[in-house]
């Protein structure tokens, strides 16, 4: 019969070479993404959405000038959705607070 390992009662020991950090010493999430950097990133994403929106409307005008009404219509639809995404990105960036929502 094979030897059965003994049953260990109590906390499981940490594997060697691994440092255990107490939850009291963990940094809050807001220190990992500082507010100025989060704002810069948010405005960068907003600028990228604006570029995509302008590209869609430019493609719509090119197709409309070439007498391709169907393609122009769908590029306008895409441009409108991209414009909505731009607005959401801008509002989300302006309303961002790393400490979370206010508690009543």
Q: pLDDT tens for residues 59-72?
A: 999 999 999 999 99
What are the residue ranges spanned by the domains of the chain? 46-97
Burial 67-76 (b: 16+ CB within 10 A, else e): eeeeebeebb
pLDDT in tens, 16-42: 666 666 555 555 554 455 578 888 999
Confidence of residue 102 (pLDDT cuts 50, 70, 90): low
Kindly report whether the global pTM for this prediction surpasses the value 0.85. Answer: no
Which region among 11-15, 70-74, 80-84 has the lowest average model confidence (pLDDT)? 11-15
Structure confidence at residue 77 (pLDDT): 98
Enter the tokens of residue 94. 């302006």
| Residue 75 contacts residue 60 (beta carbons within 8 Å) | yes
């Amino acid at each position: 019969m094979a030897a059965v390992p003994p049953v260990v009662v109590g906390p499981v020991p940490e594997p060697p070479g691994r440092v255990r950090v107490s939850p009291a010493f963990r940094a809050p999430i807001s220190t990992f993404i500082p507010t100025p950097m989060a704002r810069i990133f948010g405005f960068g994403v907003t600028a990228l959405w604006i570029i995509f929106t302008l590209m869609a409307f430019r493609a719509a005008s090119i197709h409309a000038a070439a007498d391709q009404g169907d393609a122009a219509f769908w590029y306008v639809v895409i441009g409108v959705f991209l414009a909505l995404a731009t607005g959401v990105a801008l509002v989300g960036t302006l309303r961002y607070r790393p400490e979370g929502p206010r508690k009543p």
